[in-house]
Amino acid sequence: MNVDLLTLFPGMFQGAFSESILKHAADRGLLDVRIHNIRDFASDKHRVTDDYPYGGGVGMVMKVEPLAACIEYVRKDRPASTVILTTPRGKTLNQGMARELAQEDGLIIICGRYEGIDERVRDLFVDREISIGDFVLTGGEFASLVLVDAVTRLIPGVLGSDESAEDDSFSNGLLEYPQYTRPPEFRGLAVPPVLLSGNNREIARWRRRESLRRTFLVRPELLEAACLTAEDASYVKELRSCGGNAD
Ligand code: SAM
Please give the average per-residue pLDDT across 209-231, as a whole number: 96
Four-residue CA torsion sign, 227, 232, 234, 235: negative
Residue nearest to atom 24 of ligand 1 (CA): 131
Residue nearest to atom 1 of ligand 1 (CA): 115
In the chain, alpha helices (H)? 20-27, 64-77, 95-101, 119-125, 140-152, 163-166, 200-218, 221-225, 230-241
Tell me which of 65, 104, 168, 210 is the catalytic residue.
168
Q: Is the pLDDT of residue 127 over 90?
A: yes
pLDDT band at 247 (very low <50, low <70, confident <90, very high): confident
Cis peptide before 184 (omega within 30 of 0): no
Read off the pLDDT of residues 81-101 as tens digits, 9 standing for 90 and up: 999 999 999 999 999 999 999
Please give the average per-residue pLDDT across 104-127, as a whole number: 98
> Domains plus CATH for the chain?
2-152 (3.40.1280.10), 185-242 (1.10.1270.20)
Atom of ligand 1 nearest to the CA of 133: 23
Read off the pLDDT of residues 157-198 as tens digits, 9 standing for 90 and up: 999 865 578 778 888 899 999 999 999 999 999 999 999 999
**Of 80, 77, 131, 124, the residue nearest 106 (C-alpha):** 80
| Percentage of residues in the chain having pLDDT higher than 90 | 93
Structure confidence at residue 244 (pLDDT): 86
Structure confidence at residue 174 (pLDDT): 96
Query: What distance in Å separates the CA atoms of residue 203 and residue 213, rounded to the nearest whole number?
Result: 15
Four-residue CA torsion sign, 98, 99, 100, 101: positive
Residues 6+ apart with CB under 8 A from 30: 1, 152, 155, 157, 158
78 assigned to active site: no
Report yes or no: 10 and 37 within 8 Å, Cβ to Cβ.
yes
Best mutation site among 6, 67, 86, 128 for ligand 1 pocket (most ligand atoms within 8 Å of CB): 86
Residues with CB under 6 A from ligand 1: 86-89, 111-113, 115-116, 131-133, 135-140, 143
pTM, entire model: 0.94
As a whole number, the mean pLDDT across the chain is 96
183 assigned to active site: no
Query: What distance in Å separates the CA atoms of residue 176 and residue 167, rounded to the nearest whole number?
Result: 7
Q: Is the pLDDT of residue 200 over 90?
A: yes
Tell me which of 153, 205, 207, 214 is the catalytic residue.
153
Structure confidence at residue 162 (pLDDT): 56
Which residue type occupies 179? Q
Structure confidence at residue 148 (pLDDT): 98
38 CA to middle of ligand 1, Å?
17
Read off the pLDDT of residues 41-67 as tens digits, 9 standing for 90 and up: 999 999 999 999 999 999 999 999 999
